[in-house]
Amino acid sequence: MSAERPAILFDLDGTLLDTPGAIAGTLHRVLAETGHGDVPDERVRATVGRPLTAVFADLTGSPEDSAQVAEAVALFRELFRRTVVPEAAALVFPGIPELLRTLRRSGHRTAVVTSKILPSAMELLEPAALVDQFDAIICHGMAERGKPHPDLALLAAERLGTPAHLCTVVGDAVDDMRMAAGAGMRAIGVAYGVASARQLTASGAAQVVETVADLARGLGQEPPRPTAPAPRAAPVPLP
């Protein structure tokens, strides 16, 4: 049965949590430790939000199924778990918890749709106290193809019992916008994450917002009033 109100599908990194800086810093550390420390920062940051195997294959020039990529992915996850995950609660963008609660009270079904694998998504969402605000958590590997293909978004719609045309994707990356377009869904780009407003619009965003308050308005809600604005955790320093 379809939900009466549109379902909202949220990206995780750079949309719910302010993690892109920490991710880029951790990528630099792994590249330095595996002999690829000369990769430019601009190129590293452009990969944030993609699956890790694809990221390290791209940045190191190795096949995705190579031992080098597997080693880099394992090191990244170890470093991220040790240095970033403990700061998850402080990385939640102010206003996001209140917006999620408001959406649920208004009758919207919600989901996370992320390029992270499920354990990596949960290790951020659980300490951030956001898990209970979602009806589904859809991660890389749950569908045949990941972002920017539409498969993950369509799986989320199926899990929520909502037709694709009644779903809205909210994300900060070009791949989020392309995924939404391929799935026949409306897309709202948030320019406080990785991609610029111009990039988000060019990739299919129907609307681009600069703040969480503007996002709430774009979703037909009153802007949230954060009860306790979270301090921003410092990004992982570059090596």
Active-site residue numbers?
A: 11, 13
| Distance of alpha carbon 44 from alpha carbon 24, whole angstroms | 6
Q: Please tell me the distance from the alpha carbon of residue 22 to that of residue 201, in angstroms, as a whole number.
A: 25
Helix (H, G, I), strand (E, B) or coil at 189: strand
Cα gap 214→225, rounded to integer Å: 12
Distances (CA, A) of 139 to 23, 55, 89, 93, 175: 17, 16, 20, 21, 14
Alpha helices by DSSP H, listed for the chain, are 20-33, 41-45, 52-60, 67-83, 88-91, 96-105, 118-125, 151-160, 174-183, 197-202, 212-218
163, with CB counted inside 10 A (0-12, 13-18, 19+), is: middle
H helix count then E strand count, the chain: 11, 6
Q: Tokens 């681009």 identify what position?
A: 208
72 has which bridge partners? none
DSSP state, residue 9:
E
